[in-house]
């Protein structure tokens, strides 16, 4: 069974940092591009970041560029999101998502499937 399990969320103060992790199982992690998507409370979905299967290419949305960094460790089947200079508007559930297709080296997408259960990040003083 394909599984994505996020961890690392919690309550932090504005300006602080946090690292989210996403442990993958049930598939060959190193074959797939991986994404982060967030959802603020009672709001819609916002695309954050993507990393190619080999970690060689990344993309970050303008809303997090320069503050968040996506990375992966294929030897540990784990995706990360390093979050710095956190703001109250970063408060959201953060989802780890696998791309639907295997396309080596790409950061394009063919749909998101499956999604992890999400981890809540709350930024508040």
Partner 1 sequence: IVLTQSPATLSLSPGERATLSCGASQSVTSSYLAWYQQKPGLAPRLLIYDASSRATGIPDRFSGSGSGTDFTLTISRLEPEDFAVYYCQQYGSSPITFGQGTRLEIK
Q: What share of the chain is helix, strand, coil (3-state, %, to 5)?
A: 5, 50, 45
Residue with smaller CB distance to partner 1, 11 or 108: 108
Residues making contact with partner 1 (CB under 8 A): 44-47, 59, 61-62, 95, 100, 108-118
Residue with smaller CB distance to partner 1, 55 or 59: 59
HSE toward the beta carbon, residue 54, CA cutoff 13 A? 5
Distance of closest approach, residue 43 Cβ to partner 1, in angstroms: 9
Residue with smaller CB distance to partner 1, 15 or 105: 105
Distance of closest approach, residue 70 Cβ to partner 1, in angstroms: 14
Distance of closest approach, residue 88 Cβ to partner 1, in angstroms: 21
Distance of closest approach, residue 55 Cβ to partner 1, in angstroms: 19
Residue with smaller CB distance to partner 1, 13 or 117: 117
């Amino acid at each position: 069974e394909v599984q994505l399990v996020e961890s690392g969320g919690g309550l932090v103060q504005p300006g602080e940092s946090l690292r989210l992790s996403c442990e993958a199982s049930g598939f060959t992690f190193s074959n797939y591009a991986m994404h982060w998507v967030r959802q603020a409370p009672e709001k819609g979905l916002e695309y954050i970041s993507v990393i190619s299967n080999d970690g060689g290419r990344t993309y970050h949305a303008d809303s997090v560029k320069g503050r968040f960094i996506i990375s992966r460790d294929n030897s540990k089947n784990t995706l990360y999101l390093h979050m710095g200079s956190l703001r109250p508007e970063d408060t959201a559930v953060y989802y780890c998502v696998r791309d639907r297709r295997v396309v080596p080296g790409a950061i394009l997408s063919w749909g998101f499937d499956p999604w992890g259960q999400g981890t809540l990040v709350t930024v508040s003083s």
